[in-house]
Amino acid sequence: MTPSEVLQDTHKRIIRDLRVSITDRCNFRCVYCLPETEEAANFYRHQRPDEHPSKQETKLCYTWKPRAQILTYEEITRMIRVASSLGLNKVRITGGEPLLRRNVESLIESIVALGTIDDLSLTSNGTHFPRLAKRLKEAGLSRITLSLDSLDRENFRKITGRNGLDDVLESIRLAKALGLTPVKVNAVIIRGLNDHEIGALAHFAVQENIVMRMIEFMPLDSGRAWQREHVVPGSEILERVQAEIPVAPLPAQHAAETASRWSLGDGQAELGIIAPVTQPFCGQCNRIRLTADGHIRTCLFSVHEHDLKPLLRNDSSDDKLAAELQRIVWNKEPGHQIGQSGFVQPERSMSGIGG
């Protein structure tokens, strides 16, 4: 492919990876994403008693997008087809909680049928996965990432707002049994909330032989309550794992990898540390995102997005769509500015963007 046939930006980064949010809705109310519960409000209130808006406010700070604005599976598949004609070959289905949307397996089937996507994965909170796992596997899903922030039933409920621990544990074992591997597990580490579980999560990874990815808390919560003090730096996460289990560095699998990778214990299990706040990896970023309502975001922290619905819904040709995608990607921002004076938190929370 020549440069004019790929998705390339002014910083010479070539986009290969599309995160597709298929719904902004979710059945969880994670403290770091869609905080709504009294406990979430309490957590933030205790950090900064005078400043935080959650002092009075515990309602969901987000309204779901109207259904008419949500892309159909046909529209999503077309977007992926057009993007893959420009060299994109990796797709992750996400949300919100993607498994809340009906018939996800039919979307997976359509994407697989394109024959252009080498790596098709899905991220889920695990509540509906046990019911759908077999169908997703049969439809052609290659692998899954599940979220698990705590191994303690009560703390899990405090963080996510729901009693979902058993479902996630069942999902992890089922994903392994079905060969949806490597099974990756995401844990967002937040100081004062689950950082005391870093060691236990690492031990769990060894016991289950999985990839445990510990992620720094990013300012993408709908309540806009994020503070730098909540972030446990990746370097500290690593030290705290090392205090429990021997680790050894693993080579990057590709240049755009977000996680620093470490083998855990005897080498079967893996630790990934994703540190976008303290060790940004924007220079190698090869990702863009498609929101459930059809907007392209060229960065997690974009403050401008590009609505492709008009083109998708007014009979525009694939060529026109491809040209628009190239124009949008060309202007991808150099990187996020967390911690700098000019930083502005995006309007959408992680659930609305698609993590």
Residues that bind ligand SAM (CB under 6 A): 26, 32-33, 94-95, 97, 123-125, 147, 186, 188, 215, 217-218, 220-221, 350-351, 355
Chosen from ligand SAM, ligand SF4, none, partner binding at 94 (C-beta under 5 to 8 Å by type): ligand SAM
The residue assigned the tokens 């992926």 is 80
Q: Nearest approach, Cβ of 17 to ligand SF4 (angstroms)?
A: 19
Chosen from ligand SF4, ligand SAM, none, partner binding at 272 (C-beta under 5 to 8 Å by type): none
List residues bridging with 124 in a β-sheet: 146
**Count of residues that interact with ligand SF4, criterion CB under 6 A:** 14
Q: Nearest approach, Cβ of 115 to ligand SAM (angstroms)?
A: 26
- Positions 117 through 146 that interact with ligand SF4 (CB under 6 A): 125
Chosen from ligand SAM, ligand SF4, none, partner binding at 34 (C-beta under 5 to 8 Å by type): ligand SF4
Pairing of strands 184-189, 287-290: unpaired
Q: Nearest approach, Cβ of 147 to ligand SF4 (angstroms)?
A: 6
Tokens of 323: 């040209």
Is residue 97 at the binding interface for ligand SF4, with CB under 6 A as the rule? yes
Q: Nearest approach, Cβ of 296 to ligand SF4 (angstroms)?
A: 20
- Positions 143 through 162 that interact with ligand SF4 (CB under 6 A): 147, 160
The kind and range of the H/E element at 255 are: none
Contact 83, 8 (CB under 8 A): no
Cis peptide before 130 (omega within 30 of 0): no
Q: Which long-range contacts (CB under 8 A, 24 or more apart) does 76-80 make?
A: 76/20, 76/22, 76/107, 76/290, 77/107, 77/110, 77/111, 77/114, 78/312, 78/318, 78/321, 79/18, 79/20, 79/290, 79/308, 79/312, 79/321, 80/18, 80/20, 80/111, 80/114, 80/117
Q: Nearest approach, Cβ of 274 to ligand SAM (angstroms)?
A: 8
Contact 149, 165 (CB under 8 A): no
Chosen from ligand SAM, ligand SF4, none, partner binding at 194 (C-beta under 5 to 8 Å by type): none
Q: Nearest approach, Cβ of 319 to ligand SAM (angstroms)?
A: 32
Residue with smaller CB distance to ligand SAM, 290 or 350: 350
In Å, what is the CA distance from 61 to each residue of 158, 222, 340? 18, 6, 25
Residue with smaller CB distance to ligand SF4, 261 or 348: 348
Q: Nearest approach, Cβ of 287 to ligand SAM (angstroms)?
A: 13
Pattern of binders to ligand SF4 over 18-57, x per CB under 6 A? --------x-xxx--xx-----------------------
Q: What are phi and psi of 229, to 5 degrees?
A: -65, -20
Residues at the interface with ligand SF4 (CB under 6 A): 26, 28-30, 33-34, 95-97, 125, 147, 160, 350-351
